[in-house]
Amino acid sequence: MNIILLGAPGAGKGTQASRISDTYKLPHISTGDIFRENIKNETPIGLLAKSYIDKGQLVPDEVTCKIVEERIAREDCKNGYMLDGFPRTIAQAEALDKITKIDLVINIDVDFSLLLDRLCGRRVCKDCGESYHISRLNGETNCSRCGGELYQRKDDNPETVQSRLDVYNAQTSPLIEYYTAKGLLFNVGGNTTPEAVFAEVSKKLDSMK
């Protein structure tokens, strides 16, 4: 099964992706994670991506589409995969349609009033990418999944979060209509706990087996 996770910054795409990947054994492909890995390794893609990510803007479509095309062509994606944070523009969605067939688009719908706190309070594992929120960490500084050190993403500050939300509204939210028209959209309310969201998503995925 080929799945897309759609949702505003902070909606919980990464949080659900890690649960879905563990339970349904689907490779988790996050374009944001791929860019951050490239930034860490100071590759040419990383240097280019950094200039956009630090401002909360999108990396150009042609760069992002090429990365995804190469990634989903790999052996581990032959029985399915899950895209997190891609596509993010209509042009990316159209490019994806040319190279693969999508079975389901899970749209995590969250009130915008919750997103600033979620993102500014997020801590991420340096090793496995798992997301946490400081309110649930009880002072813990390491990942409960793999033991890695937790850090704060550079784009998780109020100013950059605001640009990311503006970019989402202008460029990414039209994808809801795009995938609704194709009959692929599954809406899940994301204002509740990660466990409650995952229970809804699992019900849907189990019904498609």
Kindly list the distances between the CA atom of residue 168 and the CA atoms of 42, 58, 133, 171, in Å, as whole numbers in the listed order. Answer: 27, 9, 22, 5
Q: Is 129 in the site for ligand AP5 (CB under 6 A)?
A: no
- Nearest-CB residue to Mg ion? 14
Q: How many CB atoms lie within 10 A of CB 37?
A: 14
Active site residue 13: yes
Chain residue whose CB lies nearest ligand AP5: 32
Helix (H, G, I), strand (E, B) or coil at 8: coil
By the 8 A CB rule, do 122 and 135 touch?
no
Q: Which among 144, 69, 26 is positioned nearest to 5, based on CA atoms? A: 26
Selection from ligand AP5, Mg ion, none that 129 binds (CB < 5 to 8 A by kind) is: none
Please report whether residue 107 would count as binding ligand AP5 according to CB under 6 A.
no
List the interface residues with ligand AP5, window 22-61 (CB under 6 A): 30-32, 35, 52-53, 56-59
> Which chain residues interact with ligand AP5 by CB under 6 A?
7, 9-15, 30-32, 35, 52-53, 56-59, 64, 85-86, 88, 92, 118-119, 121-122, 131-133, 164, 190, 193-194, 197
